[in-house]
A = this chain, B = another copy of it.
Amino acid sequence: MSSAKLTINLESLVQNWRALNALSSTQTGAVVKADGYGLGADIVGRALLREGVQSFFVATALEGKTLRDALGGGPNIYVFSGHMEGDTGAIRNGALTPMLNSTNQLLRHLETLPGHLFGIQLDTGMNRLGMEPNEWFAVRDIAIGQRPALIISHLACADIADHPMNISQLETFQMMTNGLDIPRSLAATGGILLGKAYHFEMTRPGIGLYGGMPFADTLPVVSLDLPIIQVRNVLSGETVGYGNSWFATCDSKIATVSGGYADGIIRAMGPNTSLYAGDTACPIVGRISMDLITADITNLSETPDSLQLLGKRQTVETVASAAGTIGYEILTSLGQRYYRSIIE
């Protein structure tokens, strides 16, 4: 088949959650925003729900509503972007818990959905989402009087264990919330690894569930196999691909596989990345095209049906380095055109 095959191993995903849950001294939720980091929030969410996860985090209200439809009633679904104008219907119908980021959002929520679940997001120094200390202390009594379900903040530098920002954010979070009888959450994957002081009443791992750093013991969750469409011999000196950017320095055998940057195989990785046939690296040659990649298979004794981009020999992190980015972007870029095979 001309469609590339993305294999999603839910067993590994669940094992990653268990490992992070074991490291958490408290309740453990799961971040499934960006369509479950590109793997499908519905299938990821259902697998974790079966495992007993009761708290899911998404970015937008529409993501939350879609997830609610997939999971049914029961688990809590928290929305990081809070309650924006136009979100009220989705929040109500999806029984979502918006994490309110500002006085504006707090007022909107209390006016439009009085009595409906909500949480509070505080900014402890990242300056991205959430109420800062001054704003928070001005509205805190009103907010607490309405019994928020959860108070959270987010760490800016948690993947660097000894970064002074971590302790600074921790202390600010404590200063803003100590003495309140409301559950709190500060730690995503990186924060879990920083230790118990960061765990509070709930942790919420994301990237560590999906096979990305900084959780060193994370198991790979995806593999990606690109079918070979065609093989050709090129003579020394012949060029391959757009712009004649590569030429053969010796007689070579070139495979053209189905898959390209339109499938989220970031174009920038081309010069630094190989596809694998078993343990043999087959360097990408020429530019990555929209739907096609060419690789040098001269060293293979037999031509396989497909070459592997992600799998045992090459992790999400390796490919991310080759593309000059982070594992998160490799995952969330995974394309819609793949045939998706699920291992349960």
Q: Are B241 and A81 in contact (CB under 8 A)?
A: no
With contacts A1-B84, A336-B336 known, is A38 near B262, CB below 8 A? yes
Bound state CA distance, A32 and B132, in angstroms?
Answer: 47
Residues of B near A258 (CB, < 8 A) are: 59-60, 81, 84
**How far, in Å, is A153 (CB) from chain B's closest CB?**
14
Bound state CA distance, A163 and B242, in angstroms?
Answer: 12
Q: Are A328 and B232 in contact (CB under 8 A)?
A: no
Bound state CA distance, A87 and B258, in angstroms?
Answer: 13
Residues of B near A271 (CB, < 8 A) are: none
Q: Are B332 and A244 in contact (CB under 8 A)?
A: no
Q: Give the contact-size bracket for chain A.
A: 35 or more
Bound state CA distance, A152 and B326, in angstroms?
Answer: 39
- How many subunits of this chain does the assembly comprise? 2
A218: Cβ under 8 A from any B Cβ: no
**How far, in Å, is A84 (CB) from chain B's closest CB?**
5
Residues of B near A80 (CB, < 8 A) are: 291
A161: Cβ under 8 A from any B Cβ: no
Q: Are A35 and B336 in contact (CB under 8 A)?
A: yes
Residues of B near A332 (CB, < 8 A) are: 261-262, 290
**How far, in Å, is A31 (CB) from chain B's closest CB?**
9
Other A-B contacts than A38-B262, A127-B286, 5 sampled, CB-CB below 8 A, are A34-B260, A34-B290, A84-B258, A127-B238, A156-B244
